[in-house]
């Protein structure tokens, strides 16, 4: 996709973080942007920032886990805005770091509803239409935790591995539709509010998770958005964001079984170094 000018882009999870940065990046490319999120205040702030840049964006309050609402979004966008060229299933949530047996079932269902079913819903709603476009992309935001796993993050990792497998399978199904590119995105530590908006057992767990996240979140949302746009432009099937993501991807490829032990040693070294 050599140019984004005049293309219509639908972005979920656009109230903050990578979603907001993507919206601003695309309007600067003169794209028609449709943004969605369940957080109305944050969504309206993204709209305000877009308007400050002298641009406009259509916005919808949306819970991506609500399948009927997502299909309604698709119908509304096609009716009110017109044909869609790029869909970015970016909405995502997190849980506090916790042993698997201590994670409540309702939290598991909530996270999977957004992180996995949100991607499925967005893809199934828009894919038939994207197949009719001369050139289109469906972009699903996974994580480096969709390539490697960490302890106390079993449910989050499960959702992100699921997004990766879902996207890779879809890519194979699109062999007869070379006009559509299916892309999985694997950010490393991105400085967003995903942890602050997550569900935690208590305030101490929330603070510990947030502090730990800040140690590793070294890439800005704006940098992540830039990498994603470049990957879409080059029709990459897999996009890695950040040196940490590239390193962990390499470790998983080189040591598919032993990478977890290596990561634990690296993690311990990092903690000791920062305490020292």
Just list the catalytic residues: 156
Please provide the DSSP assignment of 128-181 as one string.
Answer: HHHTTSSSEEEEEE--GGGTS--TT-HHHHHHHHHHHHHHHHHHHHGGG-TTEE
Tokens of 264: 């634990």
Read off the DSSP letter of residue 38. Answer: S
Q: Is residue 112 a contact partner of residue 166, using CB atoms and an 8 Å limit? A: no
Cβ atoms within 10 Å of 150's Cβ, excluding its own: 16
Distance CA 16, CA 229 (A): 17
């Amino acid at each position: 996709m050599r140019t984004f000018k005049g293309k219509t882009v639908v972005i979920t999870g656009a109230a903050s973080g990578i979603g907001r940065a993507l919206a601003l990046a695309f309007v600067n490319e003169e794209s028609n942007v449709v943004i969605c999120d369940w957080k109305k205040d944050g969504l309206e702030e993204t709209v305000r920032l877009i308007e400050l840049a002298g641009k406009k964006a259509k916005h919808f309050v949306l819970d991506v886990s609500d399948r009927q609402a997502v299909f309604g979004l698709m119908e509304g966008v096609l009716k009110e805005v017109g044909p869609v060229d790029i869909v970015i299933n970016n909405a995502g949530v997190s849980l506090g770091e916790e042993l698997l047996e201590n994670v409540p079932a309702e939290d598991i269902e909530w996270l999977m509803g957004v992180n996995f079913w949100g991607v499925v819903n967005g893809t199934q709603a828009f894919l038939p239409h994207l197949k009719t476009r001369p050139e289109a992309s469906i972009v699903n935001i996974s994580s480096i935790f969709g390539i490697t796993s960490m302890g106390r993050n079993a449910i989050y990792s499960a959702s992100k591995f699921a997004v990766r497998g879902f996207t890779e399978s879809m890519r194979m199904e699109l062999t007869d539709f070379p006009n559509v590119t299916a892309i999985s995105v694997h950010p490393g530590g991105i400085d967003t509010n995903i942890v602050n908006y997550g569900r935690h057992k208590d305030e101490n767990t929330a603070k510990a998770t947030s502090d730990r996240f800040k140690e590793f979140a070294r890439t800005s949302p704006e940098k992540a958005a830039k990498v994603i746009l470049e990957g879409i432009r080059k029709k990459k099937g897999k996009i890695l964001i950040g040196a940490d993501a590239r390193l962990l991807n390499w470790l998983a490829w080189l040591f598919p079984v032993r990478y977890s032990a290596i990561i634990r040693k690296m993690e311990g070294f990092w903690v000791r170094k920062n305490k020292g």
